[in-house]
Amino acid sequence: MFTGIIEAVGEIVSLERRSGDVRLQVRSAGMSWDDVALGDSIATNGVCLTAVALPGDGYVADVSLETLSLTCVGNWKPGTRVNLEKALMPQSRLGGHIVSGHVDGMGEVIAREADARSEHFVIRAPKELAKYIAHKGSITVDGTSLTVNRVNGCDFDLNIVPHSLQQTIIGDYQPGTKLNLEVDVIARYLERLLLGDKAAESGGKASMTESFLAENGYLK
């Protein structure tokens, strides 16, 4: 588990294709690696990856086909900057929100403009994720815990303060930038609970729709 509070910015050193999946190496001089052991989890742009080697200034991880299909990892190349966070420890402060590191899908920056000393961004989420994004709710963007300021269909707004712009890769974002999105875990579990017995139906037929909510008394 993670908090969405970025510890350092690193960069991709190498990506090696191996029988369809990828082995990558990440380096960061801005983060201490003394307390990281083989098998530990590192959130890299919000993707939970397992350290399989520790060269001293970063880590090496294998990325599965499933992860490549759901995230922006396939777009990375040597020199790509990434947000890094080590896994949450019991004594750590939960400064952001509960983040699993399991990316739900990819979004895209639609607009960026200055807003006093902050920057205002409009992000477009995939249609299937829009229902989980709420006004003043939490969302993880490339591993960073952020507050949603406005929602309009599949688009949501973020206001990023100077500190976050400097300490993460968000300052690099421009219209067209692809990014990893993880919705609030509570929203995902709530949907599953509301489905009740229908959640056990096979074939992917059970889903939270307006008609389902009306039929089960959640809407009037």
pLDDT average per 10 residues of sequence, the chain (220 residues): 94 93 95 95 97 96 94 96 91 77 96 96 96 94 97 97 96 98 88 78 59 56
Q: How many CA atoms lie within 13 A of 154 on its CB side?
A: 13
Note the pLDDT of residue 217: 58
Residues β-bridged to residue 121: 112, 158
Domains belonging to the chain, first-starting first, are: 8-86 (2.40.30.20), 105-186 (2.40.30.20), 187-220 (no CATH)
Quickly tell me which residue has 């960073």 as its tokens.
Answer: 144
Q: How many residues does the chain have?
A: 220
Note the pLDDT of residue 195: 79
Note the pLDDT of residue 219: 53
Note the pLDDT of residue 198: 76
Note the pLDDT of residue 167: 95
CA–CA distance, 44 with 83 (Å, rounded to integer): 6
How many degrees, rounded to 5, is the angle at CA 129 between CA 125 and CA 135? 80
Entry pTM: 0.86
**Selection from 23, 25, 30 nearest residue 8 by Cα:** 30
Note the pLDDT of residue 37: 95
Note the pLDDT of residue 196: 76
Per residue in 137-169, pLDDT (tens digit) is: 999 999 999 999 999 999 999 999 999 999 999
Note the pLDDT of residue 125: 98
Helix ranges, the chain (H): 65-70, 162-167, 185-195, 210-215
Note the pLDDT of residue 113: 97
Note the pLDDT of residue 208: 55
**Selection from 184, 159, 165, 181 nearest residue 46 by Cα:** 181
Does residue 153 come out as left (phi exceeding 0), alpha (psi in the -120 to 50 range) or beta?
A: left
Residues β-bridged to residue 9: 83
